[in-house]
Structures are given as C-alpha cells and as structure tokens.
Amino acid sequence: MVARTSRFGRLVFDRDAIVRAALRAYVEGTLAGLARFAFSAADGAMWTGDLQRGALFNDDGCGDYEVVAWTEAGVVGLACELGGGPIEQLGLSTDAVTGGPDDVRAAVPELPSELLPAFEMAAGMLDVGLEHGEKQAGVGFWLHGDNVAGTMFDDPTLPGASRLAAWGLLHNGRLLPLSCEASSYPRPGGIVVDYARPQDAPAHAIMDAVVDRRLKGPTEFTTDELATLLHPLPTPASKPVLGAQRMLQKVGITWPGSPEIPELPT
C-alpha cells in the first residue's frame, strides 16, 4: 500500500484493493439495468484475464475511459479523455506512431521491468485513434511494491488524471463514480461521489458478498440473493439476463442452475 498527497487529496494505492474494486465495478456495471440500484461506477466495463493477471476497461459512455491492469508484481493504469491522447499530451509525433504499447510508454516513465506485462495488457485494451492509429491514452500511473509514479503525479492537471485518481479514493472497497466537476475542478476528496440511496443498500450488500466469495474461489449467486437484487426478476432466457450471465461467468461468478451459459438467441 502506498499513500500520496496530491491535487486530488490523499490517495491510497493498494494492489489487492484495486483488484477487488475492479471486480466489484465489473459486477456492478454488468448488473446495471437489471438490479435494484441507481448508479453504477462502471459504464461499458470490459474484463480480461483473472484475479492474478488481468485488466478492467471502464468507459463512461461518452468516450472517456481508463484501464487498470494488474499482475502479481503490481498495477498499471492508463486513461484518456477526448482530445487527450499521446499526440496531444505525451509528445508523440505522428511519424512515431506504432499502434502498439510504445505509443503510450511516456505515460508511465521509469516503469519497472516487472510491470511490463501489466503495461502491455493495459495498452492492449486502449482505443485507437481514427486519424493516426495511435493507442489512445494521455496519462498513467504504476504501482510496484512501496513505489507509485506516473504522469498523473507529474502533471495532475492532465485530462484523464482524475479517472486514475479515483482508484486511490476507493470507498469500502468500491470504485466510486466521478463527480460531474471532477475533470475541471478537482477538490480534495471531492472528485468521487457515492450516489447510492438508502434503498440501494441491499443490492450493494449482495454484490459485496458475492465479490468477497469470489476472491476466495468461483462462486454462484443464491436464489435469495437474485430475488433481492433483481427488480423485477427477469425472464431467465432473456437477452439481458443471458448477456449478464455470460459476462459474470468470465470472472467465475454463475447463477443458480446455469453452469453452462447458452449462446444468445439470434
């Protein structure tokens, strides 16, 4: 665990906490629209790998996103806001574009060699610029042992830095959504907001319980958990349910009676 005081307040980066929060955000984003809660921290979440070596892509639905990737050695985070890719923010010339990880290498200066696999995973999930084909990220961080660094600390005013700072402001193991003013007016401790309502508490408690079970091994929602979590209880064979089942199966979480998720109906 590493703590840093920054423009965004006191940030605490912990490899295991970030992995748990990534899994929690993925579950939350997968169930958005099906479950009894109002606002998910992750929009358009995509997952690759597992809890030992994996990555989460978190898109806000408007073109801004971050990727966090982890291995046993630590974590690498990369972020992009519209108009803030490596050409605009990292000094990458159009002639030097490779379409690969080297495009965004400057976002994580002095990256330890042990974190190269995590960096390559994170870079592999980035969008690509339409005009020049460059990997799209303009700011980053890395966490290795007791050290944390990256351009989000060198220049915290860079667009996308607030998206990465949110991973140092986890709340009870959860990634919280950015406030509407987070990008332009970061305030100490105020760039993230817990939008959960009192009536959302049972849903969040169930997601926390399932995530904690999954950290110990593959797990399954109970029938009672689904009855409490989902409103209304959807048709089991519906496309939204099958899509959610397939996404959760990727991270070792299944639904009662569904050890094998069928293909989506055409």
- Show me where the domains of the chain are located: 2-168, 198-254
Look at residue 257 in the predicted model and tell me its pLDDT: 65
Look at residue 8 in the predicted model and tell me its pLDDT: 87
pLDDT at 146 over 60: yes
Look at residue 262 in the predicted model and tell me its pLDDT: 54
Tell which residue, 145, 181, 186, 155, has the closest CA to residue 169.
186
Contact 84, 138 (CB under 8 A): yes
Look at residue 188 in the predicted model and tell me its pLDDT: 45
Tell which residue, 130, 142, 138, 135, has the closest CA to residue 96.
135
Look at residue 63 in the predicted model and tell me its pLDDT: 82
pLDDT digits 0-9 by tens, 66-89: 999 999 999 999 999 988 899 999
Contact 47, 55 (CB under 8 A): yes
Q: In the chain, what percentage of residues exceed pLDDT 90?
A: 65
pLDDT at 92 over 70: yes
User: What's the whole-number mean pLDDT along residues 119-131?
Assistant: 94
Look at residue 263 in the predicted model and tell me its pLDDT: 56
Helical (H) or strand (E) element with 144: strand 139-144
Look at residue 7 in the predicted model and tell me its pLDDT: 85
Look at residue 234 in the predicted model and tell me its pLDDT: 64
Contact 215, 207 (CB under 8 A): no
Q: How confident is the model at residue 1 (pLDDT cuts 50, 70, 90)?
A: confident
pLDDT digits 0-9 by tens, 215-264: 999 999 998 999 898 877 666 667 778 888 999 999 999 988 665 655 55
Q: How confident is the model at residue 185 (pLDDT cuts 50, 70, 90)?
A: very low
User: What's the whole-number mean pLDDT along residues 7-32?
Assistant: 94
Look at residue 189 in the predicted model and tell me its pLDDT: 46
pLDDT at 187 over 60: no
Averaged pLDDT score across all residues of the chain: 89
The rounded distance, in Å, linking the Cα atoms of 67 and 46 is 9
Look at residue 40 in the predicted model and tell me its pLDDT: 85
Lowest mean pLDDT among 21-25, 60-64, 222-226: 60-64
* R_g of the chain, CA atoms, integer Å: 18
Instruction: Annotate 43-107 with DSSP letters as a single string.
Output: EEEEEEE-SSSEEEEEE-SSS-EEEEEEETTEEEEEEE-TT-SHHHHS---GGG--SSGGGGGGG
Which residues lie below 8 Å from residue 29, measured CB to CB, with a gap of 6+?
A: 40, 41, 42, 43, 44, 45, 58
The rounded distance, in Å, linking the Cα atoms of 124 and 205 is 33
Instruction: Label the pairing between strands 253-254 and 219-220.
Output: parallel
